[in-house]
Amino acid sequence: MKIIRTLIYSLYLLTLPIGAIARTTADGAIDEDSQRSDSIVANYLKGTGIETTDNNSVKLLMSGHDKFVDMFECIRNAKSFVHLEYFNFRNDSIAGLLFNILTQKVNEGVEVRALYDDFGNWSNNQPIKKVQHDSINDLGVKLVKFDPLKFPYVNHIIPRDHRKIVVVDGKVAYTGGMNVADYYIEGIEGIGPWRDMHMRIEGPAVNDLHRIFATIWEDVTEEKIEGHKYFPSNTCKKGNKRIAVVDRAPKVSNESIRNLFACMLDNAKHNVRIINPYFVPTHKVRKALKRAIDRGVNVEIMLSAKSDIALTPDASFYVANNLEKRGAKVYVFNGGFHHTKAMWVDNTFCTIGSSNMDSRSLRCDYEVNTVIFNRQTIDELNCMFETDMENSDLLTRDYWKKRSTWKKIVSWFGNLLTPVL
């Protein structure tokens, strides 16, 4: 069986783009750097038209408090414009504070454009209602809904805009897994603290993120955002981090993020760590995970014991249990809800963003992930992971046996629905 798996993997390698194949030196020897997983993935991305940029800085914001303190201060210092794209703004105190700051900036002559997904808005328990939406616009903030819900509603479920992007003056960008809501700071009753991750980015990658916002803004409003004012050169060195921005736009780049995940897994040499709140990978990503485990790669996955939604977490346990049987290590986090969406490989590079490892993110919605090629960033992620391991249980066969029969049935049923979860 192992020989067959090796043969299948070898045939798979033949399907990789030329940029993902190892280079040779002038004397015909294999260039070892080109065989590293980070080099292969960078070359793969280049082959798909996604360039990496150097001289970026990345600050990981590992809590809602850290994100909002940093982002609000940056917005307060804006001189030219603030652009925001979110799945939702929950109608609570943190969103209220944000819109108060944005209104102040409008009064100072700063342009403010904000877009949110209407389905995302109504899917939370404190949506922005029409009267509030209109009053914010009356104060000078250009607030726009993506794909407003209209009868019969069902035709607006897919696709949705699940991205989270903020750009300030074309110099600073924020992206990651957090929307705008109090619970990122206060947690949720019955679940506990809400763990999540966002990033502050400076450097050339800011323009890559801003182009994504500008494209969807023009699609929705027909207003073009272009020129040096909005896309400054950003040639000054802001840091030493190499970044690629991977966008998923339906009908344009449908497979971009799931291909990224599969490529990272298929080229892992030593280890993979994953944190994802809704872990029901599509067939392509699931097969890549199995191939990595079969090659002897140390695959570690962290799931949350509690979740903010039903069914999907149970399906996640079913998938994770099968991967554990195959050789993965699965940790069940007990310190609240880990909504972080991150994967890192061989302690050299990672992807962090808005995309879950489920069909909705990988096949349907608008998403954006960054790929960061930097060991310092990986050190920060490893420190977080190993700290959270201390507040986690290892998913073992005994752990699985202790789950109730009903829970196992729900997990099995949820797995059957993976294509639509």
174-188, 240-254, 305-319, 343-357: least confident range:
305-319
pLDDT computed for residue 420 by the predictor: 59
Q: Examine residue 230 and state whether it is found in any structural domain, yes or no.
A: no
pLDDT bucket at 217, cuts 50 / 70 / 90:
very high
**What's the rounded mean pLDDT across residues 297-317?**
90
What gap in Å lies between CA 417 and CA 421, rounded to an integer? Answer: 6
Residue 378 has pLDDT above 90, yes or no: yes
Q: Rounded to 5 degrees, what angle do the CA atoms 177, 256, 317 make? A: 55
pLDDT computed for residue 158 by the predictor: 82
Residue 382: give its domain's CATH number: 3.30.870.10
Q: Which residues pair with 215 in a beta bridge?
A: none
What percentage of residues in the chain have a pLDDT greater than 70? 90
Helices (H) and strands (E) in the chain, counts: 16, 17
pLDDT bucket at 153, cuts 50 / 70 / 90:
low
Residues 352 and 217 grouped into a single domain? no
Residues 399 and 364 grouped into a single domain? yes
- Backbone CA torsion sign across 68, 274, 33, 376: positive
Q: What count of other Cβ atoms lies within 10 Å of the Cβ of residue 405? A: 7
pLDDT computed for residue 415 by the predictor: 78
User: Which one is predicted more confidently, 366 or 152?
Assistant: 366
Residue 30 has pLDDT above 60, yes or no: no
Residues 273 and 128 grouped into a single domain? no
Question: Helix 283-294 crosses helix 256-266 at what angle (to 10 degrees)?
Answer: 10
Kindly report the pTM of this predicted structure: 0.91
Residue 345 belongs to what domain range?
2-55+241-420
Q: Examine residue 236 and state whether it is found in any structural domain, yes or no.
A: no
User: Which one is predicted more confidently, 27 or 79?
Assistant: 79
Q: Are 27 and 56 in contact (CB under 8 A)?
A: no
pLDDT computed for residue 402 by the predictor: 86
Placement of tokens 């310190």 in the chain: 335
**What's the rounded mean pLDDT across residues 9-18?**
44
Residues 319 and 392 grouped into a single domain? yes
Residue 212 has pLDDT above 90, yes or no: yes
Q: Examine residue 374 and state whether it is found in any structural domain, yes or no.
A: yes
> What is the tally of structural domains in the chain?
2
Q: Examine residue 231 and state whether it is found in any structural domain, yes or no.
A: no
What is the token pair recorded at 112?
Answer: 């403010």
What gap in Å lies between CA 29 and CA 286, rounded to an integer? Answer: 34
Collapse the DSSP code of 185 into the 3-class scheme (helix H, G, I; strand E, B; otherwise coil) and give the result.
helix
Residue 11 has pLDDT above 50, yes or no: no
Q: What is the CA radius of gyration of the chain?
A: 22
Residues 98 and 149 grouped into a single domain? yes
Which tens digits make up the pLDDT trace of 242-292?
999 999 999 899 999 999 999 999 999 999 999 999 999 999 999 999 999
pLDDT bucket at 312, cuts 50 / 70 / 90:
confident
pLDDT bucket at 25, cuts 50 / 70 / 90:
very low
pLDDT computed for residue 14 by the predictor: 43
What is the token pair recorded at 344?
Answer: 């890192």
Q: Mention every residue, 6+ apart, whose C-beta is less than 8 A from residue 96.
A: none
Q: Where are the alpha helices (DSSP H) in 26-182?
A: 32-35, 37-47, 64-76, 93-107, 118-123, 130-138
Residue 247 phi/psi, 5° resolution?
Answer: -100, 140
* Closest among 5, 1, 12 to 266, alpha carbons compared: 12
Residues 142 and 249 grouped into a single domain? no
Residue 421 has pLDDT above 80, yes or no: no
Residues 190 and 311 grouped into a single domain? no
pLDDT computed for residue 18 by the predictor: 38
pLDDT computed for residue 238 by the predictor: 80
Exposed, middle or buried: residue 125 (CB in 10 Å: 0-12, 13-18, 19+)? exposed
Residues 47 and 70 grouped into a single domain? no
